[in-house]
Each structure stands twice: as structure tokens, then as C-alpha cells.
């Protein structure tokens, strides 16, 4: 079974029967002869992940656990609230949401551009025939280009896909530009979660686990956005365009599958291995990973969504009160809020 892949293999594409073009904008990936969407850079990458997963399972390991319990927490606005706002002509919150998501996706390109530490220096066992040993040999580059595209070639990645979907339903120039928060990872402020290992490795592992959490929870946004775009009562004068926009989101979701898979795989591999500690010894990696992940789950699934929802509320309240229906609309909006989403 093949378990060593070159950079070019991990970044090569299927032969597409048709390129992915929407509204004149070239986007990544393509379609097979049957019209099915095929994600970019997956010809060998998918086979490689499947082979490494088989090896991991044969050795008694498994993909790192990540399930629907990570998909909870309040959202502001949730999809019912968003639909209410749009039905009342308030398109700005939806426009802002899609714009911010696209800009966060664009930042993912850092995965293709940054130099990450060599995990072989940290891990005791040979990782050259594992997904772990391929992170810096094409896996992270493929992932990063999926997110941020190839602007120099005019090929849009996830960032541009969100913008194209947005522009299909809300005319460009309708609203002022918005910027995402500086970081959506857990702010660590110098706190060490894995003091047993050298800091650059802790930072890299923290980065990978934050990325898995963000990628996994992105599903909440895909589902909510699609519900809004597919709501029959909305965008009634351009339903077909709204359905096309929902399809673009579906393609992004399809692309994200291999990202979540790859991250669960490398973390699953790492849990089976040993790492070198700062005091010159070695220890199993599993307790370090599990400790960090438990803390991240409590922040990302329980604390952060409440905080984010409550922080988002005042600006939404202002926009609602400034609209024609003011108080009555705000009342309806608040009745639809998720538990914990409204400030006390």
C-alpha cells in the first residue's frame, strides 16, 4: 500500500469534464461528465488519506474523535432570525455574515504560505509514512490553497466562493465593507497547555486543533446559510440565483470534508505516538492532545458562542430599530433567539 506521496501528488487535480465557473468568475474544482462537483487537489490526496487511515486503524488507532456534540451553542442571528430580517428588508446582517466568512476563509491561505515546525523533531517514532510526515510536504499547502484560492491565476477558493454566493442574492455595493475579528482561535495570552514540550510544537499542535474545531463547526454556518438561501419566501424575484448560491455553499462544504478528515487523521496518528519532552525524556502524546482538546471544547462549544452571540446583539438591535418596523420587529427577533444568545 502506497504511503509516501510527493508534493505534486498531494496537490494534483482530477481531470474535469467542465471547469467551475459562476457568473464569469473561475472557481476551484470542477465537474465530472455527469455534472457532479469534484473538489480541487483531491486526485491523490483522498487516496493518500484513505491509505494512512487504514494503516492507523491496522495499528489499533482511529481518527481523532469529533462528532455532532461539537455543533451546539447559540447563534446570533440564527437562521430563523436571519430569515425574519431578510423578509423585512434588512439584508445587511446576512451580507455581513457572508463577507466575514469569506474573509476568514481567505486567511486560511496562511497554511500554504507559512513555515511550520518539523514534527519529526518532536515525535520519537518515524512519521515519514504517515499523514503527519506529509503536513509540510504538500498537505497543508493543498489545504491552504483550497481556502484562499490562487488569486494570481484568477482561480477563486473558498473566500471568493462566499463572495460570489453573496453577490448572487445581494447586489454588490449595497452595504459598506466589514472586517472579521482579528482571530477566531482561542486567545491563549501566553498560557501554556503543554509545558512538557517545546513551545513552537505546542503552538503548532494548538494551531492544528483550533483549525479542526473551526473547520468542524463551520458546518453550523453552512447549514444556516443554506436554510436562508433556500427559504421560498426570500429572494422571490431571483429564486434561481439564491438556489445557485446555496449550491456554491454545498460545494464549499464538500471541499471541507477532506480538511476535517486530514486533521482528524494527523491528530489520531499523533495520539498513538510518543513525543520528546523539554527535560530530555519522552512521553505519550495522547494525554497532551486530550488535555488541550478538552479545554478547547469547553471554550469553543460552550463559552465562546454565548459571548459571540451577546457581543453581536447590540449592533443588530440598532439596525432593527432603525428600520421601518422598529420595536415590533425587535420584539419578534428576540422571541426567535437561541437560549443564551441575548445579553441578560
Max Cα distance, the chain (Å): 68
DSSP type of residue 185:
S
**Shortest gap between Cβ of 9 and Fe ion (angstroms)?**
20
Nearest residue (CB) to Fe ion, 104 versus 123: 104
Residue 330 grid cell: 425587535
Burial code (b: 16+ CB inside 10 Å, e: under 16) for 23-49 equals eeeebbbbbeeeeebbbbbbbbbbebb
Nearest residue (CB) to Fe ion, 125 versus 219: 219
Distance, in Å, from the CA atom of 145 to the CA atom of 109, rounded to the nearest integer, reads 6
**Shortest gap between Cβ of 261 and Fe ion (angstroms)?**
11
Distances, alpha carbon 218 to alpha carbons 39, 171, 183, 205, 259, in Å: 17, 25, 15, 20, 11
**Shortest gap between Cβ of 218 and Fe ion (angstroms)?**
7
Nearest residue (CB) to Fe ion, 77 versus 144: 144
**Shortest gap between Cβ of 134 and Fe ion (angstroms)?**
17
Distance, in Å, from the CA atom of 48 to the CA atom of 53, rounded to the nearest integer, reads 8
**Shortest gap between Cβ of 245 and Fe ion (angstroms)?**
16
Distances, alpha carbon 290 to alpha carbons 162, 205, 287, 293, in Å: 33, 11, 5, 5
**Shortest gap between Cβ of 270 and Fe ion (angstroms)?**
19
Distance, in Å, from the CA atom of 331 to the CA atom of 329, rounded to the nearest integer, reads 5
**Shortest gap between Cβ of 164 and Fe ion (angstroms)?**
14
Q: Footprint of Fe ion on this chain (CB under 5 A)?
A: 105, 147, 158, 215, 256, 259
Distance, in Å, from the CA atom of 86 to the CA atom of 316, rounded to the nearest integer, reads 13
**Shortest gap between Cβ of 108 and Fe ion (angstroms)?**
6
Nearest residue (CB) to Fe ion, 105 versus 202: 105
Neighbours of 321 (CB within 10 A): 12
**Shortest gap between Cβ of 104 and Fe ion (angstroms)?**
9
Nearest residue (CB) to Fe ion, 105 versus 167: 105
Nearest residue (CB) to Fe ion, 91 versus 225: 225
Contact 138, 5 (CB under 8 A): yes
Nearest residue (CB) to Fe ion, 251 versus 259: 259
Distance, in Å, from the CA atom of 118 to the CA atom of 137, rounded to the nearest integer, reads 10
Nearest residue (CB) to Fe ion, 9 versus 215: 215
Nearest residue (CB) to Fe ion, 85 versus 111: 111
Contact 301, 289 (CB under 8 A): no
Q: Beta strands 282-284 and 25-31: pairing type?
A: unpaired
Amino acid at each position: 500500500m502506497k504511503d509516501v506521496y510527493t508534493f505534486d501528488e498531494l496537490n494534483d487535480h482530477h481531470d474535469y469534464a467542465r471547469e467551475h465557473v459562476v457568473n464569469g468568475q473561475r472557481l476551484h474544482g470542477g465537474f465530472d461528465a455527469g455534472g457532479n462537483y469534484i473538489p480541487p487537489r483531491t486526485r491523490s490526496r483522498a487516496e493518500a488519506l484513505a491509505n494512512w487511515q487504514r494503516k492507523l486503524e491496522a495499528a489499533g488507532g482511529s481518527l481523532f474523535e469529533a462528532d455532532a456534540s461539537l455543533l451546539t451553542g447559540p447563534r446570533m442571528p440564527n437562521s430563523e432570525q436571519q430569515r425574519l430580517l431578510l423578509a423585512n428588508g434588512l439584508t445587511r446582517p446576512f451580507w455581513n455574515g457572508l463577507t466575514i466568512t469569506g474573509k476568514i476563509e481567505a486567511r486560511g491561505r496562511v497554511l500554504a504560505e507559512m513555515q511550520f515546525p518539523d514534527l519529526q523533531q518532536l515525535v520519537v517514532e518515524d512519521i515519514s509514512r504517515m499523514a503527519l510526515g506529509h503536513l509540510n510536504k504538500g498537505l497543508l499547502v493543498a489545504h491552504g490553497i483550497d481556502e484562499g484560492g490562487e488569486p494570481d491565476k484568477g482561480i477563486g477558493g473558498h473566500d471568493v466562493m462566499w463572495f460570489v454566493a453573496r453577490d448572487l442574492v445581494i447586489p454588490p455595493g449595497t452595504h459598506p465593507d466589514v472586517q472579521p475579528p482579528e482571530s477566531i482561535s482561542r486567545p491563549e495570552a501566553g498560557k501554556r497547555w503543554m509545558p512538557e514540550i517545546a513551545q513552537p510544537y505546542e503552538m503548532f499542535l494548538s494551531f492544528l486543533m483550533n483549525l479542526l474545531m473551526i473547520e468542524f463547526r463551520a458546518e453550523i454556518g453552512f447549514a444556516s446559510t443554506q436554510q436562508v438561501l433556500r427559504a421560498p419566501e426570500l429572494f422571490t424575484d431571483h429564486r434561481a440565483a439564491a438556489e445557485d448560491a446555496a449550491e456554491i455553499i454545498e460545494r464549499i462544504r464538500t471541499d471541507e470534508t477532506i480538511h476535517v478528515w486530514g486533521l482528524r487523521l494527523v491528530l489520531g496518528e499523533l495520539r498513538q505516538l510518543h513525543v520528546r519532552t523539554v527535560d530530555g525524556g519522552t512521553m505519550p502524546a495522547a494525554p497532551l492532545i486530550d488535555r488541550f482538546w478538552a479545554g478547547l471544547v469547553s471554550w469553543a462549544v460552550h463559552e465562546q458562542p454565548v459571548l459571540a452571540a451577546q457581543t453581536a446583539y447590540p449592533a443588530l438591535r440598532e439596525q432593527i430599530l432603525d428600520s421601518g418596523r422598529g420595536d415590533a420587529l425587535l420584539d419578534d427577533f428576540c422571541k426567535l433567539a437561541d437560549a443564551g444568545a441575548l445579553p441578560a
